[in-house]
């Protein structure tokens, strides 16, 4: 069981970190080089302007192309992705990743295939199981990280 959770952690981390790299460099999957953040494009503009729907559409569209939102989004993707890949700071990664997924979930209401559940809810559930199961301890640096003075002082970083 612990290895399945570790592999789930790594797979989920790769989703977040790949999205970060693709938006940063424009690796050609979801983002072209010309649309990359390093080329000066906003990593949130397309989704927030054209991918949002439902009752919160206007709120999310007003956030489009805002530098602070771009920075928060990219730092969130990068941090959550690396934390999950390495097995470090899983509690904080779970909270921040869940917040990101909840916001994206709210940005695309109503749901297309199910009235309430979509992949964002599944990601939130998985994100919050990982720290409870100490999934960073297996195929990761979680055991070492938990013994550091920083984590002893700030347990949310476990």
pLDDT (tens digit per residue) in 127-156: 999 999 999 999 999 999 999 999 999 999
pLDDT for the residue numbered 111: 86
The whole-model pTM stands at 0.94
Query: What is the chain's Cα-based Rg?
Result: 16
How many domains does the chain contain in total? 1
The Cα 146–Cα 158 span in angstroms is: 6
Mean pLDDT computed over 40-45: 96
The Cα 145–Cα 95 span in angstroms is: 18
**Residue 72: domain span:** 2-157
Query: Do residues 30 and 22 lie in contact, with contact meaning Cβ atoms separated by under 8 Å?
Result: yes
Cross-strand bridge partners of residue 108? 53
């Amino acid at each position: 069981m612990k290895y399945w959770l570790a592999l789930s952690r790594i797979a989920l981390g790769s989703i977040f970190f790949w999205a970060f790299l693709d938006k940063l460099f424009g690796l050609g999957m979801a983002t072209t080089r010309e649309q990359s953040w390093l080329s000066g494009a906003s990593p949130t503009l397309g989704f927030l302007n054209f991918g949002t729907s439902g009752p919160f559409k206007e709120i999310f569209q007003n956030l489009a192309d805002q530098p602070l939102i771009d920075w928060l989004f990219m730092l969130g993707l990068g941090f959550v992705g690396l934390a999950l890949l390495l097995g470090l700071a899983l509690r904080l990664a779970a909270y921040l990743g869940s917040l990101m997924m909840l916001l994206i979930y709210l940005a695309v209401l109503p749901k297309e295939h199910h009235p309430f559940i979509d992949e964002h809810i599944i990601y939130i559930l998985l994100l919050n199981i990982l720290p409870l199961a100490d999934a960073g301890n297996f195929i990761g640096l979680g055991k070492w990280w938990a013994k550091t003075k920083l984590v002893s002082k700030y347990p949310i970083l476990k």
